[in-house]
Structure 1
Amino acid sequence: MSPVRGADIACLEGDPAYDVRWPWKDGALSPGLTCVFRLKNEAHNLPWVLPPMLEAVQHVVIVDNLSDDGTPEVAQEVANECGAGDRITVTSYPHRVSRAGSEHLATRPDSVHSLTHFYNWSFSHVRTAYSMKWDGDMVLTREGVSILRDLSWQLEDSNAIVAVPRHPLSVESEQVAWLDLGFRFLEPWIYPMGPEFTFVKAFEWEVREFPESTTRLVAPEGLCVELKWLDRDEFAHWSDMDFDTSRAPRKRREWQVYSALRDGRGHEVPGLHRIESPPGVHVVDHVTRTWLPRAERPLVRRKGRLEV
Structure 2
Amino acid sequence: MTQRASAREKGSERGRACVAIALGLSMLCACRLANADQAIVQQPPAFGHAIADVLEQKVLLQERGHRAELVALPSAGRITPWLERRPPSISTDDEGRQWLVLHYQIVNAPQQLVSVTIPATRLPLTSGAALDVPDWAVTVAPLTLTDPPNRGLLTPLQADRVITAPSLAPIRRALAIWASATFGVLIAWCAWALWRDRREFARLPFARVWRALRRRDPASVDDDATAWRLLHDALNSTAGRVIRARSLPQLLRDAPHLQPLRPQLEAFFRCSSARFFENVPPPERFSLRKFAEALYRAERRNQH
Do both proteins adopt the same fold according to a TM-score greater than 0.5, normalized to the shorter chain? no
- Considering Cα pairs closer than 8 Å and 6+ residues apart, tell me whether 1 or 2 has the greater RCO: 1
- TM-score, normalised to structure 1, is 0.17
- Bigger CA radius of gyration: 2
- TM-score, normalised to structure 2, is 0.17
